[in-house]
Amino acid sequence: MIITSDNMSAKEIVNDLKENYAKVRKLIDEDSKNDPENEPYVSKYKAKDILNNMRDVLGNIAESESGLTRVQIDALKGAVMLSIGSVDMETEDFTGCEKALKEAEDILLPSALEPEVIILLVNVQNNLGLLWSFRDEAERAKTYLLSSKKNCEDFKATMRMPVPIETILGIATPADDTIITDFMCLEKAHTLTLYYLAQVYGTLKESLKSAIYCHVTLRRQLMYKDYEPIEWSLNCATLSQFFVEQNGFYQSRYHLAAASTILDRYEAELLAVDVNDDAHLAKKETLKHRYADVARCWIKYCIMLMSASKERLMSDADTVTDATTDMSNLTFEDTENICEGDLKQLTFPDLDVSKYEQKIGDKYLLTYEDAREVFLCCQGWLDKAKDYYRADTLASDHIELVQDSSQAYAYLAFFEEDDERRAKMYKRRVDMLEDLLKEVNPTYYLMYCRQLWYELGEVYSEILNIKLDKLNKSKEKPTPHILKKINMLCEKSIENYDKFLDSVKDKNGVMPVKLESDVVRPAINAYAYIGRNSMKRIAVDKNAQLSHVKKSYECYQGVVDICKNDPEAANMMKEEYTLCQEMVNILPLKIKKLEKELVA
């Protein structure tokens, strides 16, 4: 039955609204968690029925008979429509959700700067932003979220305290200090606005603005002590990955250091509790897992710093002197007053992260000693990550960590000037990759096996080139041992590239007419490497020489076939395609010559 205000006193009206609102909150916040699987929304539908009743009551209520002001009545109407819209969103009735939220916004906007309204209005516009994000309408979502942000900031400029709906209804709050609680209701809603804006700007490909909003969200969570340590650390470490990809190593290191610092704090809290029940042990296991995840972000930081330093040293000398690893000097047009246009403000003022910042630098590497420090730091993080991601339990992650370790050796080798020591580093890569392949079943991990075969082909080629350079520089006649070593390196490189190419072919051993886009480049490179390395094999016997040249010709022809069948591949690999076309024209002459010599 719909209760009207005709036969009720002011006190009874408010008490009835209070009682029904409490029922709604219990149904949504508590009872809904225990709904049966076959009726997952039964509690929320019950709540919606009560909310509709409350809406009808509020539609007929007058200020004089309720003892409430017009603003308070509008706030209650807005709260009811916000709750209806939230239920509709959770039950995926997006049309009903939009209608309810727009009605709430229309009711609340005229009193936007009133203390009773501001918390509700911010939440309504946040939900409208979320709704349009679900509908892939990022620009429309942004409009609502920026309006929510402005309304909140305008209200705070009035220096008045917000009044939540519970206070209007006289619902007691468990907190000791209701003023702080009321203030935090608004601040939490505002933090959510900034978080949603970070997601929306990410969708709109405005990556820097998205990253800044992410940072501000994290900073506010720390400031108001409104965060879960592990989730906060993961989000902070994830944000560091954006900065490292922009060569903002200063910002990336800072956020990684912050993530590790918060995890350390949380670990200290867990250790201080002298219990060993299942819940506590589960927390410890989760912490170990997330420590490993943050370690992987540190690993990426180290590898990216070595990689960027290598690219910088190989680039034009003029760009080397101007290169910076700090994004603070970037010009940023801060029309929304996120960080006052100053990227130097992307810090957490009350968090000391020096313990981790001191462990590794953030500047480009110039010497082997510089690279070795980063390499050793990387190995330390790899050990931490491997301690959790073991081969027998989490194979995919373990494989990726071994690949990371191999890459770290590769970049360290770039900075090493001594050929013998460089070759030993490559040999270390060979050992770890081949040991890994012995443990990995291609049936279940074909993608990873492909990557490992290809990388081994590359590494053996690198060692081969070092040995050949040394042989060419030497004036002495090569020993049989050296010649055997060179041929072995050729064979090993070719063998691994062949395994990679065989994995791409169909069941009949035939290369597809058109390759998948992610396989085109490595397949063409593999063919080209085999073609070159086949010609590098040293053979006195004419039959062996002919076999090597024919193998080389087949591989160069393989590249030509791929590019003829796929114009996109030909365009992507122009240089390799041109070179292989030339070799396909030249090598038949050499093959004929060797065949004639054999006949003679």
pLDDT (tens, 9 = 90+) of the chain, 600 residues, equals 344 445 556 678 788 888 999 999 999 989 889 989 888 999 999 999 999 999 988 888 766 666 788 999 999 999 999 999 999 999 999 999 999 999 999 999 999 999 999 999 999 999 999 999 999 999 999 999 999 999 999 999 999 999 998 888 887 655 545 556 788 899 999 999 999 999 999 999 999 999 999 999 999 999 999 999 999 999 999 999 999 999 999 999 999 999 999 999 999 999 998 888 889 999 999 999 999 999 999 999 999 999 999 999 988 655 555 578 888 877 777 777 787 667 778 899 999 999 999 999 999 999 999 999 999 999 999 999 999 999 888 999 999 999 999 999 999 999 999 999 999 999 999 999 999 999 999 989 999 999 999 999 999 999 999 999 998 888 788 888 999 999 999 999 999 999 999 999 988 889 998 899 999 999 999 999 999 999 999 887 889 999 999 999 999 999 999 999 999 999 999 999 999 999 999 999 999 999 898 887
On whether the CB atoms of residues 535 and 552 are closer than 8 A, the answer is yes
Domain spans, the chain: 1-205, 226-417, 515-600
| The CATH fold of domain 515-600 | Methane Monooxygenase Hydroxylase; Chain G, domain 1 (1.20.58)
CA 293/CA 270 separation, integer angstroms: 19
**What Cα–Cα distance (Å) separates residue 149 from each residue in 97, 220, 324, 336, 364?**
21, 14, 34, 9, 39
Instruction: Please say whether the beta carbons of 88 and 96 come within 8 A.
Output: yes
Cβ pair 236, 294 in contact under 8 A: no
CATH code reported for the domain at 1-205: 1.25.40
Structure token digits, residue 333? 């047009």
Take residue 97 and report the two structure tokens written for it: 């959700």
* Eight-class DSSP state of 336: T
Length of the chain: 600
> Which residues contact residue 533 at a Cβ distance below 8 angstroms, ignoring those fewer than 6 apart?
461, 464, 490, 493, 494
